[in-house]
Amino acid sequence: MPDTILLEREGGLLTLRLNRPDKKNALTRAMYSRLAEALELAGNDPQINAVLISGSAECFTAGNDIADFLEQPPSDLDSPVFHFMLNLLECRKPVIAAVAGAAVGIGTTLLLHCDLVYVSRDARLRMPFVNLGLCPEFGSSLILPRLLGQAKAAQLLLLGEGFSGEQAAQWGIATQALDSGEAALSKAREMALRFDDLPTEAVRISKQLMRAPDRELLRKAIEHEGALFTQRLRSPEALAALTGFIKRH
């Protein structure tokens, strides 16, 4: 079976490449575990200065694997998806994301916890949690209303409307929108490699300072959302929507 998370080293950069093209890089429990481990490794390895999370030039990720949601839903904070997201939140090294094509569900949520995000203009981001009978996750119910205002956040989180990479950059969800998927991946790599030339300790302290004011609030929001999300996964609304997706494919 091909490796669904490819780890690549280049100088002080560790790239975590999502590699499940036949399923649009949908994330399984095994993939979350591998991502969680890699982030922990990067945090503890003094030779690693930055982490880049990317998919391909055609697709970032279709979000959580829907069959996994039905067969092995996360039940508590000890589940692989929580390990991954908490390691992302706590990562001491800068995390950069390169996004092209679809970034659905957690594929958009995780961007809110990256330090720099490069997207293709025509990337398609969406958080269809309500549409699937679920609710926002991993701090998005806290971060998005603050970033965008309630009215715009409701468009994304209550209606579950999709938006482009171009809009993501205009709204401050992404750092910069580029003309193509290839350009987004290449820009993200270029900027991630810049950390090899920056003073490591100054970067670490600055990232910590930028994150510190909201840290506790965010942790509480994530726990609250997580408890509701795991309940929602067993709700008749979610089960109908998720089995509907499986039947259509």
Q: Is the separation of the CB atoms in 114 and 97 below 8 Å?
A: yes
User: Contacting ligand COA (CB under 6 A), which of 102, 184, 185, 191?
Assistant: 102
Tell me the backbone φ, ψ of residue 126, rounded to 5 degrees. -165, 145
Which has the closest alpha carbon to 80: 31, 32, 139? 32
- CA pair distance 179, 44, nearest whole angstrom: 35
In this chain, which stretch among 64-72, 111-119, 163-171, 205-213 interacts with ligand COA, using CB under 6 A?
64-72
Residues 7-36 that bind ligand COA (CB under 6 A): 23-24, 26
- Does 100 participate in binding ligand COA (rule CB under 6 A)? no
- CA pair distance 158, 173, nearest whole angstrom: 18
β-pairing, 5-10 vs 13-18, is antiparallel
User: How many residues appear in the chain?
Assistant: 249
Nearer to ligand COA, 27 or 52 (CB): 27
- Burial tier of 182 (Cβ tally within 10 Å: 0-12, 13-18, 19+): middle
Nearer to ligand COA, 106 or 192 (CB): 106
DSSP 8-state class, residue 92? S
Least distance (Å) from ligand COA to the CB of residue 219?
A: 22
User: C-alpha dihedral over 133, 219, 32, 237, to 10 degrees?
Assistant: -10
Question: By CB under 6 A, how many residues form the interface with ligand COA?
Answer: 16
Q: Mask of contacts with ligand COA, 111-150, x by CB under 6 A?
A: -----------------xx--x------------------
Nearer to ligand COA, 96 or 102 (CB): 102
User: Contacting ligand COA (CB under 6 A), which of 4, 15, 54, 64?
Assistant: 64
In this chain, which stretch among 4-12, 65-73, 183-191, 194-202 interacts with ligand COA, using CB under 6 A?
65-73
Q: Is the separation of the CB atoms in 43 and 73 below 8 Å?
A: no
Nearer to ligand COA, 93 or 126 (CB): 126
User: Contacting ligand COA (CB under 6 A), which of 12, 63, 74, 181?
Assistant: 63
Nearer to ligand COA, 51 or 88 (CB): 88
- Does 4 participate in binding ligand COA (rule CB under 6 A)? no
- Does 66 participate in binding ligand COA (rule CB under 6 A)? yes
- CA pair distance 233, 249, nearest whole angstrom: 20
Q: Is the separation of the CB atoms in 221 and 89 below 8 Å?
A: no
Work out the number of other CB atoms within 10 angstroms of the CB of residue 59. 24
Residues that bind ligand COA (CB under 6 A): 23-24, 26, 62-67, 102, 104-105, 128-129, 132, 249
